[in-house]
Chains A and B, each alone.
Chain A
Amino acid sequence: MGELRLMKGNEVIAEAAIRAGADGYFGYPITPQSEIMETLMARKPWEETGMVVLQAESEVASINMVYGGAGCGKKVMTSSSSPGVSLMMEGVSYIAGAELPCLVVNIVRGGPGLGTIQPSQADYFQAVKGGGHGDYRLIVLAPNSVQEMNDHVALGFDLAFKYRNPAMILSDGVIGQMMEKVELSDFTPRLTEKEIIEKYGDWATTGKPRTRNQNVITSLELQSEIMEKRNQHLLKKYESMQQDVMYEEIMTEDAEYLFVAFGSSSRICQKAIEIAREKGIKVGLFRPITLYPFPTKQLKERGQKMKGILSVEMNAGQMIEDVKLAVECKVPVEWFGRFGGIIPSPQEIVDALEQKIIGG
């Protein structure tokens, strides 16, 4: 049993990063995630593990610091919230293009534009479908508890290094600001320079000895034939990520109806299930934990047995597109959501199920 603490989701991200053996964090303050860098600065991990923590001049600089650090084979990360993550999208595309591992944490707030500082899930499209330019994908993890905020840091790094691809934790102000009991991970030591050279010396900019060819971190390729091959290689890599798909099902065995929800809205759905079942409505929850890779096959299997599906999201209906694709539109799929920083109540969700699916 690891160390038990009562902590805020954002603080846990910081603590988990230190414990995961992260080499560097580069960030810029933005609500509602500033506690991540504040916690790191107060913790001074450079004295404990040697982890570098730096407040950059902007999110643009932060993500490019991550690019530089990741290129050295280091375990590096950044965090931000929606408008800041938009600024990072250029760098994320470069990181994906250069096939570098890193972790980006997005504590989503309502948008578009400056929007609100309250919680939202409106960055689903940005995280899952692109956001930056070019054909690339992020590994996207959607924690729904403070515990998962802890777990997904190490998991995110592991997947990022496994696939040499940027990973994102897509959370929101609800989980970021919420205090919960958390079992912290044990400490993983940072890799030494020697270990990094052994593990990643075939691509990382660790300094070129005469005995090997130079390593160049780049996403540039002017020859279309080679670039197409590179795109095909990436495509194959993204497809192979399916083996790491994660999801959770709650009370789906006897269910006739299904909520599909991720992150904080999936928690509210659990309460909605209680209310609905008291009324005799057999409803369950399908929660994608990896939003990319999306559990398409698994949702199809479960979803096609249902009378109807309600995609519950704190946005104007984004994940619903993937839900519809998963069940190949063979089952009615509707959307319910609140946005602008409003969190839906369980009762609202049950009402929506009754109106849009059962009565619809």
Chain B
Amino acid sequence: MAKVRGAIVVDNELCKGCGLCVVACPTNTIGLAKEVNSKGYNYAYMENPEACIGCVNCALVCPDSVITVYKVKVS
């Protein structure tokens, strides 16, 4: 069975920690970091990287376009 693995790269410095990507993620991949960026926002990050399927939902809802998405098929 073909399986899909994905990964996101968040621009930590530009993320405003709004949390919309966390809700949009269907696989609970994303969480907000305990650390803050230089503006004081708890930025988004892959809390469960193995769960990511590269569906781009997070990137679509991100108001600041700080998420880049990668996806690869694994057999």
Q: Would A and B touch once assembled, by the CB under 8 A criterion?
A: no
Residues of B within 8 A of A (CB): none
Residues of A within 8 A of B (CB): none
